[in-house]
């Protein structure tokens, strides 16, 4: 049976969320991380009858806790407790770390990303445990503390513990992100990866006067544009990197069927298939920053001493970061060897994908439907999260189940989670256990 939350229980759960938000847990500064850890450890001990352990990292620790159930199946529930800083508090309509209710939304830093979603999953598990005294399968809580810093130690930790603490994991459930813009909950089977890099040119120790040195001194900006011309075809709007598109695969018939059922954002005139294929199954080659010389108001007759361009490539399943890096190195080998051009890599996250034939998809979506009445399936999330650590390093099927509203304002002022999304999240996690989804 679906979970029923009366007014008293909702008020109790709201207070728990308020206490959690108040602990801060700012990722970049560490402000409130210790109190956030203590809050979670106490919750897990008292509500889930489990003993949490701490895994140290180079930044904020990971909380690990195994809650034994009735079957041998072990499902890893991933979430993160760290939040972004509140930044300019004058942009907030209320105190960032004091939970505020307005227009059926809970406001506060972390409400959407990811404390609200993390607390929803913990409360859903606790509600089931309180009612039944046990769980239908093992749950391994893996709660990260540096997601807002790029999960920089996550892969290292998973590699270190894959044959010990994590060796019995059968599936991973990542609870983070946003539900569909239509307001419907969604299950995601994968995400695009990312490779970001910078090309830079330096030709002198200082900018030079164009009258005194024109035709004599090299121009860093013009040299860089020449390199960009070798890298990108402006007519086809595709990169010239060898083999960049060779590993790109088309969606399967099942994935096409799911895509066709997805709602389109307002103002989009393409079909769902055309629109979502571009976002989910095609890579991007994007110039996101370009600088050289004088860029302020007015003219300044100089020959710029340096120039740089930054790129990000959203990569689809089967594209190999190592191959792309090798192509870049080959394309610019003479210039890189001579020092005329510098190449620096900024971000590297492989794409991730779970097979559309996984037998647990139907059970997972059914639980969401039983709890909320509807569920969409997105084969690929267009953005990038480090789910490859579960699919590629740990070697298990991985599903992303976001519980926050699309307009949550995460990383911005007035971050929020709707009351509907928060309480539905609790019901969904409870229903996963009620339906014995992974047992």
Residues 201 and 175 in one domain: no
| Residues 107-144 pLDDT 10s | 999 999 999 999 999 999 999 999 999 999 999 999 99
Residues 317 and 363 in one domain: no
DSSP state of 412: S
Closest alpha carbon to 399 in 370, 363, 346? 363
- Extended strands (E) in 136-212: 138-144, 171-174, 186-188, 190-191, 193-202, 208-209
pTM: 0.92
pLDDT of amino acid 250 = 92
Give 20's contacts (C-beta < 8 A, 6+ positions apart): 36, 39, 110, 115, 119
What is the three-class DSSP state of 199? strand
Is residue 278, in this structure, part of any structural domain at all? Answer: no
pLDDT of amino acid 56 = 97
Boundary (domain end) residue, out of 321, 349, 377: 349
- 258 vs 262: CA distance, rounded Å: 7
Is residue 151, in this structure, part of any structural domain at all? Answer: yes
What is the three-class DSSP state of 187? strand
Residues 113 and 171 in one domain: yes
pLDDT of amino acid 1 = 85
Domain count, the chain: 2
Element holding 272 (H helix, E strand) = helix 272-280
Residues 41 and 162 in one domain: yes
Token readout for 252 is 């399967």
Residues 342 and 356 in one domain: no
Token readout for 88 is 């300019």
| Residues 136-170 pLDDT 10s | 999 999 999 999 999 999 999 999 999 999 999 99
Residues 422 and 372 in one domain: yes
Share of the chain above pLDDT 70, in %: 100
Boundary (domain end) residue, out of 300, 327, 349: 349
Residues 23 and 140 in one domain: yes
CA angle, residues 185, 186, 192, in degrees to nearest 5: 145
- pLDDT lower than 50: segments of the chain: none
What is the three-class DSSP state of 311? strand
- 108 vs 62: CA distance, rounded Å: 23
Expressed as residue numbers, the domain containing 318 is 193-248+283-349
Are 390 and 75 in contact by the 8 Å Cβ rule? The answer is no
pLDDT of amino acid 439 = 84
Residues 422 and 297 in one domain: no
Element holding 78 (H helix, E strand) = strand 74-80
| Residues 212-253 pLDDT 10s | 999 999 999 999 999 999 999 999 999 999 999 999 999 999
pLDDT of amino acid 51 = 95
Q: Phi, psi at residue 122, to the nearest 5°?
A: -65, -40
- 250 vs 75: CA distance, rounded Å: 30
Is residue 215, in this structure, part of any structural domain at all? Answer: yes
Is residue 264, in this structure, part of any structural domain at all? Answer: no
Residues 361 and 387 in one domain: yes
pLDDT of amino acid 392 = 97
Closest alpha carbon to 404 in 424, 382, 388, 380? 424
Give 21's contacts (C-beta < 8 A, 6+ positions apart): 97, 98, 99, 108, 109, 110, 111, 115
């Amino acid at each position: 049976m679906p979970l029923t939350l009366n007014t008293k229980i909702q008020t109790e759960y709201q207070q728990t969320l308020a206490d959690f938000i108040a602990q801060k847990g700012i990722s970049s500064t560490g402000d409130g991380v210790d109190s956030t850890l203590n809050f979670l450890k106490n919750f897990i001990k008292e509500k889930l009858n489990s003993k949490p352990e701490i895994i140290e990292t180079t930044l904020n620790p990971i909380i690990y806790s195994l809650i034994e159930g009735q079957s041998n199946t072990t499902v890893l529930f991933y979430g993160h407790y760290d939040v972004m800083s509140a930044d300019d508090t004058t942009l907030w309509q209320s105190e960032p770390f004091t939970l505020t209710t307005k227009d059926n939304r809970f406001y506060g830093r972390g409400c959407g990303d990811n404390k609200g979603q993390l607390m929803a999953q913990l409360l859903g598990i606790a509600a089931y445990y309180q009612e039944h005294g046990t769980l239908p399968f093992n749950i391994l809580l893996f709660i990260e503390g540096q997601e807002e810093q790029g999960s920089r130690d996550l892969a290292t930790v998973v590699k270190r513990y894959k044959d010990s603490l994590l060796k019995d994991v059968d599936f991973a459930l990542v609870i983070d992100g946003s539900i569909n813009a239509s307001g419907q909950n969604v299950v995601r089977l994968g995400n695009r990866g990312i490779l970001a890099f910078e090309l830079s040119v330096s030709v002198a120790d200082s900018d030079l006067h164009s009258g005194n040195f024109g035709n004599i001194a090299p121009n860093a900006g013009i040299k860089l544009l020449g390199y960009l011309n070798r890298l990108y075809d402006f007519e086809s709007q595709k990169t010239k990197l060898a083999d960049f598109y060779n590993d790109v695969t088309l969606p399967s018939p099942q994935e096409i069927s799911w895509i066709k059922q997805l709602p389109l954002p307002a103002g989009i005139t393409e079909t769902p298939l055309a629109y979502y294929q571009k976002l989910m199954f095609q890579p991007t080659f994007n110039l996101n920053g370009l600088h050289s010389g004088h860029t302020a108001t007015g003219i300044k007759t100089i020959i710029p001493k340096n120039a740089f361009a930054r790129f990000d490539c959203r990569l689809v399943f089967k594209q190999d970061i190592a191959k792309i890096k090798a192509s870049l190195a080959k394309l610019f080998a003479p210039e890189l060897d001579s020092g005329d051009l510098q190449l620096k890599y900024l971000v590297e996250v492989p794409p991730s994908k779970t097979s559309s034939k996984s037998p647990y998809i139907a059970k997972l979506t059914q639980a969401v439907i039983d709890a909320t009445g509807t569920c969409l399936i997105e084969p690929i999330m267009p953005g990038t999260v480090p789910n490859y650590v579960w699919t590629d390093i740990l070697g298990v099927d991985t599903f992303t189940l976001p519980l926050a509203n699309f307009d949550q304002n995460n990383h911005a002022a007035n971050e929020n989670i709707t009351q509907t999304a928060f309480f539905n999240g609790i019901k969904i996690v409870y229903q996963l256990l009620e339906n014995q989804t992974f047992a």
